[in-house]
Amino acid sequence: MAIAVNTKKCDNCGACLKVCPFEAVTIVDGFPEINAACKMCGICIRECAPGALVLIDDARMKVDKSEWNGVLVFAEASGGKLHPVVRELAGKAREMAGKVGYDVYAALMSDDCHDMARELLTFGFDKVYTYEHEAFRYFRADVYANAFSDVIAQVKPSIVLTGATSVGRSLAPRVSTRLRTGLTADCTGLDITSETDLVQIRPAFGGNIMAEIITPRSRPQFATVRYKVMDEAPICEPHGEIVEMKVSDFMLKSGIEVISVSEKPPSENISEADVLVVGGKGLKSADDLELIKALAEKLGGQYAVTRPLVEAGWAPQIRQIGLSGRTVKPKLLMTFGVSGAVQFTAAMRDAECIFAVNKDADAQIMKIAHYCAVGDLYEILPALLEA
């Protein structure tokens, strides 16, 4: 969809310029023009008395893929540190770029980019584009979207990747909408074809199938990727360059004011745990979860649960592994009474070692586990605790 201007009806009243809350209307050759900042809110259309502004369906034209090259990664950072998902995205970007001869780029916004930009070069990026200003000290969706849109317009990457974090999930939809391109969210796998089409793999229909999505008629190709599902990029000798980008006044305009910032109290994060002990719906009561917690403590790890236990109120949502919970990649993952529904396994199948206990030898979890114990968890779990 797009907003078009009928110059035969336009009387140059300037009403659209005044009412647009996003400053997406500019005057070019005497007539209004809608720029990339448009959010398709429709206010200008409603306020246009002569009816010169209309909403139309864009003609779906075949894109010239040769004009779009490379893989661009949004380098999410906070407090002077890169989010760990960035290194995972770098690894996948380098892998795909090697198949089609692309370069890999990173876009970094911060109040102090120097050290983080140099660190990004060790991830194998060919170029790191930096936007350095005090306004980027804290994440504000509109300011970050302005900068991210700017680098995409200048670099014209074929593929744009962001982490499926709270920041990435806020930023990616805004920017992809501005660029009139599609976005596949929460991908658990990525690949690229010889035609440079990004194959975006993610669960669909409630996790019952793994869909492969491509956008052959649109560029750039946007995807957000879950943390802990890709292999990290190996550290290498830096060979790329840091490109300092101009931060314009327009880029810094924001409807958001940061009044205060306080650190979140430290808490356990199952995504970072090396050892996880997981309880499933095979547990008979909430009290039985204490056995899971006890084993996790003895092994120096954390406990986690499947979705039914969260829905039953036995554990908080931050302890849930699954598509609607956390993605994990521990060195050891032990499951007790977990059947292995695809919604669960899609978020933990990359664990280095999986040990499963279940009465049903044919349960789905037993097909992906490295070690299986067929039996009653109420006999096996106490024996493990004693041992």
Interior CA angle at 179 toward 61 and 48, to 5°? 90
Rounded CA Rg of the chain: 25
Quick one: pLDDT at residue 249? 92
Quick one: pLDDT at residue 4? 86
Quick one: pLDDT at residue 376? 95
- Asked whether residue 264 is domain-assigned, the answer is no
Q: What is the mean pLDDT of the chain?
A: 92
Quick one: pLDDT at residue 233? 96
Task: Using the predicted structure, report yes or no on whether residue 262 has a pLDDT greater than 90.
Answer: no
Angstrom distance (rounded) from CA 166 to CA 245: 25
SS3 content of the chain, % helix, strand, coil (to 5): 30, 25, 45
Task: Using the predicted structure, report yes or no on whether residue 58 has a pLDDT greater than 60.
Answer: no
Quick one: pLDDT at residue 42? 84
* Alpha helices in 27-155, H assignment, sequence order: 43-47, 85-100, 114-121, 141-155
Angstrom distance (rounded) from CA 158 to CA 81: 27
If asked whether residues 23 and 121 sit together in one domain, one would say: no
In terms of residue numbers, what domain contains 15? 2-56
Which is higher by pLDDT, 35 or 312? 312
Quick one: pLDDT at residue 116? 98
For the chain, how many helices (H) and strands (E)?
A: 12, 21
If asked whether residues 104 and 230 sit together in one domain, one would say: yes
Using DSSP's 3-state secondary structure scheme, residue 247 falls into: coil
Share of the chain above pLDDT 90, in %: 70
Strand (E) or helix (H) holding 5: strand 2-5
Quick one: pLDDT at residue 276? 97
If asked whether residues 41 and 175 sit together in one domain, one would say: no
Quick one: pLDDT at residue 265? 82
Highest mean pLDDT range out of 29-43, 208-222, 291-305?
A: 291-305
Task: Using the predicted structure, report yes or no on whether residue 59 has a pLDDT greater than 60.
Answer: no
If asked whether residues 320 and 192 sit together in one domain, one would say: no
pTM (2 decimals)? 0.77
Q: Residue 279's closest CA among 356, 210, 169?
A: 356
Quick one: pLDDT at residue 369? 96
- Asked whether residue 100 is domain-assigned, the answer is yes
Angstrom distance (rounded) from CA 78 to CA 60: 39
If asked whether residues 23 and 160 sit together in one domain, one would say: no
If asked whether residues 123 and 212 sit together in one domain, one would say: yes
Quick one: pLDDT at residue 63? 82
- Asked whether residue 50 is domain-assigned, the answer is yes
Share of the chain above pLDDT 70, in %: 97
Average pLDDT over every residue of 148-169: 96
Instruction: Identify whether the C-beta of residue 123 lies closer than 8 Å to the C-beta of residue 233.
Output: yes
Quick one: pLDDT at residue 57? 64
Average pLDDT over every residue of 60-85: 90
If asked whether residues 28 and 83 sit together in one domain, one would say: no
If asked whether residues 78 and 41 sit together in one domain, one would say: no
Segment 75-127, tens digit of pLDDT: 999 999 999 999 999 999 999 999 999 999 999 999 999 999 999 999 999 99
If asked whether residues 379 and 349 sit together in one domain, one would say: yes
Task: Using the predicted structure, report yes or no on whether residue 175 has a pLDDT greater than 70.
Answer: yes
CATH number at residue 135: 3.40.50.620
Task: Using the predicted structure, report yes or no on whether residue 60 has a pLDDT greater than 60.
Answer: no
Q: Which residues of 327-340 are buried (b: 16+ CB within 10 A; e: fewer)?
A: bbbbebbbbbbbbb
If asked whether residues 33 and 167 sit together in one domain, one would say: no
Segment 202-218, tens digit of pLDDT: 887 766 777 899 988 89
Average pLDDT over every residue of 251-269: 86
Task: Using the predicted structure, report yes or no on whether residue 152 has a pLDDT greater than 90.
Answer: yes
Residue at token pair 């010889």: 194
Angstrom distance (rounded) from CA 70 to CA 219: 11
Confidence at 61, pLDDT banded by 50, 70, 90 = low
Quick one: pLDDT at residue 207? 65
* 13-17, 118-122, 377-381: least confident range: 13-17
If asked whether residues 235 and 100 sit together in one domain, one would say: yes
Close Cβ partners of 342 (under 8 Å, ≥ 6 residues apart): 203, 207, 208, 210, 364
Angstrom distance (rounded) from CA 314 to CA 301: 19
Which is higher by pLDDT, 269 or 203? 269
Q: Residue 364's closest CA among 375, 378, 379, 349?
A: 349
Average pLDDT over every residue of 357-381: 95
Residue type, 349: R
Quick one: pLDDT at residue 21? 86
CATH number at residue 17: 3.30.70.20
Phi/psi at 372 (nearest 5 deg)?
A: -125, 140
Angstrom distance (rounded) from CA 101 to CA 330: 33
Provide the domain count of the chain. Answer: 3
Close Cβ partners of 140 (under 8 Å, ≥ 6 residues apart): 254, 256, 258
**DSSP code for 63:** P
- Asked whether residue 260 is domain-assigned, the answer is no
